[in-house]
A = this chain, B = another copy of it.
Amino acid sequence: MDIVCLVFDGITALDIVGPYEVLQRLPGADVKFVAGSAGEIRTDNKFLALVADYSLDEIKGADVLVVPGGFATRALEGDDDLLAWIRAIDATTTWTTSVCTGSMLLAAARLLEGKEATTHWASLERLREYGAIPTGHRVVEQGKIMTAAGVSAGIDMALTLAARIAGDEFAQAVQLGIEYDPQPPFDAGSVAKAPARVVELLRAMYGARDM
């Protein structure tokens, strides 16, 4: 099973590493990291580099495509070569998935027209610009397309996908393998739950960047 993980400069690392950590454990998984050019890409803050072993033009298809997000996606929404590649790979996939603002790339590639989808909460309403229907759910499944909310939601998405691909029991074994029994010290992980001051603090930080 070919699992293709898109990466790019400015990616949010957990967007792709969360799903990867789950999906690489599927039976027969062969995971390929791919970028515009093969080699190192730097995450959003430049502290961490991941290696893309493949360039886009080396990858012609996938069983599962994972498109992550990060602040960089805003510019990539206008990258016609990348969007054409996403459309071409999607034409071959069993599952096309996204995490966080990776959904904006699927949307810009016109794969979400008329479909429900999710993305990072701060970008949710922008899905409408591409004809998608934003929902506040953490994981949204529409046919073969599965979108996840911000950053850490990719883990929940990938476990959902693992169950579709390999069955509930195997997905549970993966969950146990990564000991995913979340116990966050606060209940502030969504706009609905976070204190208003925390939401405003973060919106102010985001306001300085172009989401």
A202-B184 contact in complex given A47-B32, A51-B40, C-beta closer than 8 Å: no
Contact of A173 (CB < 8 Å), options: B47, B171, B176, B198: B198
* CB of A1 within 8 Å of the partner chain: no
A152-B155 contact in complex given A47-B24, A48-B50, C-beta closer than 8 Å: yes
Contact of A20 (CB < 8 Å), options: B13, B149, B152: B13
* CB of A56 within 8 Å of the partner chain: no
* CB of A210 within 8 Å of the partner chain: no
* CB of A17 within 8 Å of the partner chain: yes
Copies of this chain held together in the complex: 2
Q: Which of A72-80, A108-116, A189-197 contacts B (4 or more CB under 8 A)?
A: A189-197
Asked whether B180 lies within 8 Å of A160 as measured between CB atoms, the reply is no
Asked whether B173 lies within 8 Å of A150 as measured between CB atoms, the reply is no
**B-contact 0/1 string along A86-124, CB 8 Å cutoff:** 000000000000001000000000000000000011000
Asked whether A176 lies within 8 Å of B190 as measured between CB atoms, the reply is yes
* CB of A133 within 8 Å of the partner chain: no
Asked whether B24 lies within 8 Å of A14 as measured between CB atoms, the reply is no
Asked whether B185 lies within 8 Å of A189 as measured between CB atoms, the reply is no
* Besides the known contacts A49-B53, A152-B179, A156-B182, 17 further A-B residue pairs in the complex with CB atoms under 8 A apart: A14-B18, A21-B152, A31-B48, A48-B51, A50-B51, A51-B51, A138-B181, A139-B185, A159-B186, A172-B186, A175-B188, A175-B189, A176-B191, A179-B189, A180-B184, A180-B189, A182-B182
**B-contact 0/1 string along A164-175, CB 8 Å cutoff:** 000011111101
For residue A17, which residue of chain B has the nearest CB? B17
Q: Which residues of B contact A55 (CB under 8 A)?
A: none
* CB of A140 within 8 Å of the partner chain: no
* CB of A33 within 8 Å of the partner chain: yes
Contact of A179 (CB < 8 Å), options: B24, B153, B163: B153
